[in-house]
Amino acid sequence: PPPYTGVWMGDSKLCAIGVHCGNHITSHGLALNCCTDLTWFEHIVPCGLEGKGVTSLSRELGQHITVSTVLEPFLHSFQEVFDCTLLCSEDPG
């Protein structure tokens, strides 16, 4: 919910989105909770937001959702939304 960043399901964050700027370098990323062990979030205040929870695709859909299940449709949607072509290399080095 505004003004909070990320993807939300009610008062629970499903996906964190972040940007960091430092030493003339900008980095960005996201963390989509697919099948995350959510009990770890009971020990912290996630993203510094009091009274807000964290959820996962597995919890919301009531079935085990793995990263490998989500990766291809996520990348396809990313290309559509940002009107770009993603290149993939078998050798990350």
Taking only the tens place, the pLDDT of each residue in 15-70 is: 998 889 999 999 989 999 999 999 998 898 887 888 889 999 999 999 999 999 99
* 90 in any annotated domain: no
Asked if 13 contacts 55 with a C-beta cutoff of 8 angstroms, the reply is: yes
- How many helices (H) and strands (E) would you count in the chain? 2, 4
Asked if the model's pLDDT at residue 1 lies above 80, the reply is no
Q: Is the pLDDT of residue 93 over 60?
A: no
Q: Residue 75 and residue 84: Cα distance in Å, rounded? A: 10
3-state secondary structure (DSSP) of residue 74: helix
Domain for residue 88, yes or no?
no
- The reply to whether 85 falls in a domain is no
Residue 4 has pLDDT above 60, yes or no: yes
Residue 14 forms part of a structural domain: yes
- pLDDT confidence of residue 2: 65
35 included as an active-site residue: no
In a domain, 63, yes or no: yes
- Among 11-15, 30-34, 75-79, 88-92, whose mean pLDDT is lowest? 88-92
- The token pair at 57 is 């695709």
* Residue 57 counted as domain residue: yes
Residue 90 has pLDDT above 80, yes or no: no
Cα dihedral across residues 41, 57, 2, 84: positive or negative? positive
Catalytic residue among 21, 34, 35, 47: 47
User: What total number of domains does the chain contain?
Assistant: 1
Domain that holds residue 53: 7-78
Q: What is the mean pLDDT of residues 65-77?
A: 95
Residues 6+ apart with CB under 8 A from 85: 79
Residue 50 carries which DSSP code? T
